[in-house]
Structure 1
Amino acid sequence: MRFDLTDLRLFLHVAEAGSITAGAARAHLALASASERIRGMEELAATPLLERERRGVRLTPAGRALAHHARVILDDCERMRGELAAYGRGLKGHVRMMANTSALSEHLPEPLAAFLAANAHVDIDLAEGLSRDIAQAVAAGRVDFGVMSDTVDVAELVTRPFRRDAFVLVAARGHPLAGRKRVAFAETLDCPHVGLEAGSAAQDYLAGQARRLGRSVALRVRVRGFDAVCRMVEQGVGVGVLPAAAARRARRSMAIRAVPLSDPWATRTLVVATRPGGPAPSPHAQALIDWLLGGPASSGS
């Protein structure tokens, strides 16, 4: 039985996305080519690896076994590339990581850009997700590490503090809540909101907090990015809830106010999370983790 690395990467992408179409896109393969590769893998294995359903695919027991071994093999290959990089600079390193919306938008762009500039032989596959989904992905070995909130259960993971993070209400200067020193999230739900586009981890998180109160977030409009939220808020479309760092940046050029939320969940610490035991992070992944936690520490460029 012979699967090449492209087959294994494709299969993991399909398993994680729950869809051959989405998996093919992540693997940068045409759908027809990806489907043919999956069929070839099932023929070699002499057993179905995926259950085809109306809305995607699900792993069979054999598929789950293959996904486990594929991760081990690809992790080993990544560690091999990291070790060989000291001898041959032509090899590319690949780091897989996930981050929540706040980390992705406010805290990671600058250090990631600096790391990539200093390490031209390393590529980063960065995905956005809810903190609970990031914890599951790290624990399952689907990513090398995650940057997420410490408000979720991280008992199975090794975590180290990365940044302080807090949600605040943003409102136009003349809004009734704009003059408050603090405000409860429940009070904001009486107002129309400007929210982030569907699929945003931050917006999903806020929707979950509203459900815990037996309420919902009344969205007048969804936009892409925190700056766009603030511009809509400035024009009086509604209020928004976003990370304090984004609000501080927008407040320099927009007529908005930022009011801290009084809810305990609104103040949190972003952490870098890795798996305990098991395969250690590849040299490239560990170099990136060290960079994020302690400042520039080149992986050997």
Structure 2
Amino acid sequence: MRFDLTDLRLFLNVHETGSITAGARRSHMTLASASERVRGMEDALGVPLLLREARGVEATPAGRTLAHHARLVLGQIDRMRGELDHYGLGLKGHVRVLCNTTALSEYLPAVLGAFLKDHPRISVDLEERLSHEIADALRAGACDIGVLADSADLHGLHARVFRHDPLTLIVPQGHPLAERAQVLLEEVAGHEFVGLVEGSALQEHIAHHARRSGRPLSYRVRLRSFDAVCRMVGQGVGIAIVPRVAAARYARAAGVRRVALADGWAARDLVLCVRDDLPAYAAELVEYALRDAPASPEASGRTGRAGAGGRGRTRSPTPQRPG
């Protein structure tokens, strides 16, 4: 049995995407080449690694075992490269980051832009996911760093507050709710809403809590950015729930008013999480990202250290969904 690193990375990509086609694309190879490599691994082992179905593939027990060991091997290779990079050999590091909607649109672009400019030999794979999916991916070793809402189950992860990220209601100027100091979601659920496109992490978070209250929300239009949502609200199309930082950024230009949400789930933090030791270059990104993080005693007491060694306390709040 001889598997090279390309085989292992390909199989892991196929396993994580649930598709040979998507795994081949992520591995930068043709579908034919990827299929041949996977068949070669199965022939070498004498057992099937994937169950091939019309909508994709699913790993067999043998495939899940291979994926587990592939993560360990590739993770060790990444750590080796990161440590050798400090000896000036010029090896390039790659960091896998998963984040929720707000982190992707409001905070990480500035952080990553500055970091990548200062670290030309490092690349970042950034992807939006639901917060509970990010926590699961971290525990499975499918990513290096996660930026997610603190409402997710962080058991087994090292976490630090990344940014305070409360949600707020926005309404048009002159709206009956505009003079309210704060509202509960159940009070405004009967209004027409403007939201983000289906599948966005924040939209799923809001929909989850609306269902829990027994008052699902009605949307007149769904858009792809907070800027577009704020502008549509300003034109009187409906009301919306957005991160306070986005509302503050676009309020004046869009002509909207902010109304505080009194629901406990709306007063949230974004946390930066890792699982175990990181390669040196990934640990540098963590330290860089946390430079402007809140440094209050409350924040440091509620979370563990998310640095290179993963030291500090882990945080295990009561599991909730999603964020």
Q: TM-score range by the shorter chain?
A: over 0.9
Distance in 2 separating the partners of 1:100 and 1:228: 18
Counterparts of residues 115-194 of structure 1 (less than 5 Å):
115-194=115-194
Percent identity between matched residues is: 54
* Aligned length in residues: 294
1:33 matched to 2:28: no
Secondary structure class of the residue paired with 1:154: coil
CA deviations on 1:205-224 (whole Å, 9 max, x unpaired) are 11111111223221222211
In structure 1, the partner of 2:290 is 293
Q: Which residue of the partner structure matches residue 249 of structure 1? A: 249
SS in 1 for 2:176: coil
Query: Following TM superposition, by how much is the alpha carbon of 1:22 offset from its aligned partner in structure 2, in angstroms?
Result: 2.6
Residue identity in the other structure for 1:247 = A
The TM-score with structure 1 as length reference comes to 0.92
Aligned to 1:281: 278
The aligned amino acid for 1:157 is: L
Deviations 1:115-157 (A, max 9, x none): 1010000001111111111111111111112111111221221
Match of 1:221 in 2: 221
Give the SS at the match of 1:24: helix
Q: Distance in 1 between matches of 2:161 and 2:63?
A: 36
2:61 matches 1:64? no
Separation in 2, partners of 1:10, 1:82: 21
Letter in 2 for 1:210: A
Q: Which moved more, 1:228-237 or 1:134-143?
A: 228-237
Q: Which amino acid aligns with 2:5?
A: L
Query: SS in structure 2 opposite 1:294?
Result: coil
Q: Letter of the aligned partner of 2:274 in structure 1?
A: T
Equivalent AA in structure 1 for residue 148 of structure 2 = M
Counterpart of 2:178 in 1: which secondary structure?
coil
Once the two structures are overlaid, the 10-residue window that deviates more, 244-253 or 209-218, is 209-218
Letter in 1 for 2:48: P
Report the TM-score when normalising by structure 2.
0.86
When structure 1 is superposed on structure 2, of 51-60 and 20-29 the one drifting more is 20-29
Q: Which amino acid aligns with 1:18?
A: G
Q: Is contact 1:251-1:257 (8 Å) kept? A: yes
Rounded to whole Å, the distance in 2 between the matches of 1:59 and 1:47 is 12
1:24-57 CA distance string (max 9 Å, x none): 3333333333223222222222211111223222
1:253–1:294 CA distance, 2 compared to 1 (3 A) = same
The residue aligned with 1:234 is 234
The answer (yes or no) to whether the contact 1:89–1:121 under 8 Å persists in 2 is no
Runs of 4+ in structure 1 off by over 4 angstroms are none
What SS does the corresponding residue of 2:181 show, helix, strand or coil?
A: coil
**What's the CA shift for 1:89?**
4.8
The CA deviation at 1:193 is 1.5
Residue by residue over 1:184-215, the C-alpha shift from the partner in whole angstroms, topping out at 9 and shown as x without a partner, is: 11223211211112221111111111111223
Residue number in structure 2 paired with 1:200:
200
User: What SS does the corresponding residue of 1:125 show, helix, strand or coil?
Assistant: strand
Gaps of 5+ in 2: 293-307, 309-323
Change in Cα spacing, 1:30 to 1:224, as seen in structure 2 (3 Å) is: farther
Give the gaps of 5 or more residues in structure 1.
Answer: none
The corresponding residue for 2:314 is: none
Q: In the alignment, is the contact (CA less than 8 A) between 1:139 and 1:275 conserved in 2?
A: yes
| Letter paired with 2:287 | D
CA distance in 2, matches of 1:227, 1:25: 32
How far apart in 2 are the matches of 1:21 and 1:216?
37
Q: What's 1:95 paired with?
A: 95
